[in-house]
Amino acid sequence: MTLTPEGLTITDNLYKELQPDLNRIVEPLFEFGEQQVRKRGAYLPFGATLNAAGEISLDYATGGSEIESPLDVLPLLHEGLRARAKEESLLAVAVCEWVTITTDGTQANAMKVLVEHRRGLTVAFYVPCDKKLFKGWQFKPMFAIEAEPEVNAWN
């Protein structure tokens, strides 16, 4: 997957400068998310970190119960990513979650990857998707918008 999202609303030069870091952390999250959607139809939130050496580490959180919801897992994941950002020299943190979005007045399922970079840029990437009866899951072009931090890794 190449990170050239359609409809990018970010005009800041910082995005262009940080694009290699964004690509590095977003691509494996969307790849794993797509695998989960094809297998299960949805997934619990999971995340990743990018360190100064360019290494990606996938992260997940669990509340310890057998049946969990995204609403239970997401705050735990955010807390874990914040803790890692304080302990390690990270460049970026990201969270991938299954969301419902509205585009052109129509609701759709989507994979969302929110990336917070140490240099102050936060971008939300979305890949809308829907399930066709005989064709399985169909993934539409990615789009991105500048966003507010949710993890708040570097406050």
Domain boundaries, the chain: 13-146
Residues 97-119: tens digit of each pLDDT: 999 999 888 898 999 999 999 99
Contact 108, 127 (CB under 8 A): no
Nearest to 4 by CA among 24, 21, 19: 19
- Mean pLDDT over residues 89-101, rounded? 95
| pTM summary value | 0.88
Does residue 9 carry a pLDDT above 60? no
pLDDT one-digit tens code per residue, 16-34? 899 999 999 999 999 999 9
Of 110, 97, 89, residue with least CA distance to 29: 97
